[in-house]
A and B are shown apart, each in its own frame.
Chain A
Amino acid sequence: MSEILKHGPLVVFGATAVGGAIAVVLTQNVVRMAFWLILSLGAMAGLFFSLNADFVGTAQLLIYVGGTLVLLIFGVMLTASGPFVSIKSSAGDLVKSGVAGGLLLTLILITACQVHWESTPAYDEVGVMSAGYNATADGNTTRPLGHAFLGARPDKDLGRPPTDHLSPGYLLPFEIVSVHLLVVLVGAAYLARAKKRKA
């Protein structure tokens, strides 16, 4: 019991994320599915915060819960007219997919729990902020992440003995993904614009 109380926020966020995901699968009404998905993704942001990933958690809240889900709900509003709010799947499909999903879940859980992560050489209980100038494990990741996106890795390279190679940064993937996002949004606006029907 004291274990549960000690990890209270983690238990709440984890249970909400898992319960929301299961409710998304079980609900047939697409509007309620969107609501459960908001709950699940918001709890996932809490899990990110508990993993010292403050910037990723904030980005999850801003982009996913604030952006992607608004898009999804617009999609629901524009397409859910009358009979299409809930399209039932057949019972046989549900049983088959339930069996397959249960088997896949068992496989994944057994595989993940079989590994003794504590005894692997890369395991580090102290965690992500244990190296570099930003030594406190208070989840202060924004500045190192910005450096990594600009191609410099002071979080890895500072304090190391001088070598002839530096740790890789992410400048080129960052540029590619930003141009990709621009092109995709222009393309989405082009696809979704109202066309004049040829009568």
Chain B
Amino acid sequence: MQPVGLNVYLMIAGILFVCGVVCMATKRNAIGVLMGVELVLNGANLNFVAFARYTKLGLDGQVISLFVIVLAAAEAAIALAIALNFYNNHLTIDVDRADELHG
């Protein structure tokens, strides 16, 4: 495959990042908010790998992206455990109903 410029990857990553942020902000389902987080992390990951490919920085970007993938897996596991607990206690998954700590 012919190499294309760095800008293509940066634009794809930017679109994914913005989609994730909008998803986190608008979804009222807690699982939907989690999916937004995954999109944001993937956009950042694409940036790391693209800069590792198109600069002299070498493999460091790929190493960091592997760390991000592992931490995203850990985050998804713990967040889903919290979501399940929340569902068991409130019988809903709507994040707007989680307002017990509201002053």
Per a CB cutoff under 8 Å, which of B2, B8, B62, B93 touches A145?
Answer: B62
- Neighbouring A residues of B22 by C-beta, 8 Å: 25, 97-98, 100-101
Beta-carbon contacts of B4-43 to A below 8 Å, as 1s and 0s? Answer: 1111111110111111111101111111101110110010
Q: Are B85 and A128 in contact (CB under 8 A)?
A: no
Main secondary structure of the interface of B (DSSP, over half): helix
Given the complex of chains A and B, what is the CA–CA distance between A14 and B12 in angstroms? 7
* Interchain CB contact under 8 A, B84 and A78: yes
Q: Are B23 and A79 in contact, with the CB atoms below 8 A?
A: no
Cβ of A74 within 8 Å of any chain B Cβ, yes or no, is: yes
Q: Do A71 and B23 touch across chains, with their CB atoms under 8 A apart?
A: no
A17 to B17, CA, bound (A): 12
In the complex, are the beta carbons of A108 and B17 less than 8 A apart? yes
The reply to whether A48 and B49 form a contact with Cβ atoms under 8 Å apart is: yes
Contact A53 to B62, CB < 8 A, known contacts A188-B81, A191-B82: yes
Smallest CB gap from B22: residue in A? A101
Interface size class of A (residues with CB under 8 A): 35 or more
Q: Which residues of the other chain, B, contact A123 by a CB distance below 8 angstroms?
A: 6, 54-56
Q: Which residues of B contact A156 (CB under 8 A)?
A: 58
Per-residue 0/1 for A41-69: is the Cβ within 8 Å of any B Cβ (1 yes, 0 no)? 10010011011110110011001100110
CB pair B70–A72 under 8 Å, yes or no, is: no
CA–CA, A173 and B65, complex, Å: 13
Q: In the bound complex, what is the Cα–Cα distance between A80 and B29 (angstroms)?
A: 9
**Interface residues in A83-109 (C-beta closer than 8 Å to B):** 84, 86-89, 93-94, 97-98, 100-101, 104-105, 108-109
Of chain B, the residue at the smallest CB distance from A173 is B67
A3 to chain B, nearest CB (A): 9
- Contacting pair B17 A75 (CB below 8 A): no
- Closest Cβ of chain B to A177, distance in Å, is 6
A122: chain B residues at CB < 8 Å are 55-57
**B74's contact among A34, A47, A124, A181, by CB below 8 Å, is which?**
A181
Q: Does B7 contact A184, Cβ atoms closer than 8 Å?
A: no
Given contacts A18-B16, A109-B14, contact A59 B66 (CB under 8 A): yes
Given A47-B46, A105-B14, A156-B58, also A71-B77 (CB < 8 A): yes
| Shortest beta-carbon contacts, A-B, top 6 | A191-B81, A21-B19, A101-B22, A192-B81, A108-B14, A184-B74
Listed by A's residue number, 24 A-B pairs whose Cβ atoms lie within 8 Å are: A6-B2, A17-B12, A17-B16, A34-B35, A37-B38, A44-B16, A44-B46, A47-B12, A51-B49, A56-B45, A56-B62, A72-B80, A79-B31, A87-B28, A89-B27, A97-B26, A101-B21, A123-B54, A127-B53, A128-B58, A148-B63, A149-B63, A170-B63, A181-B73
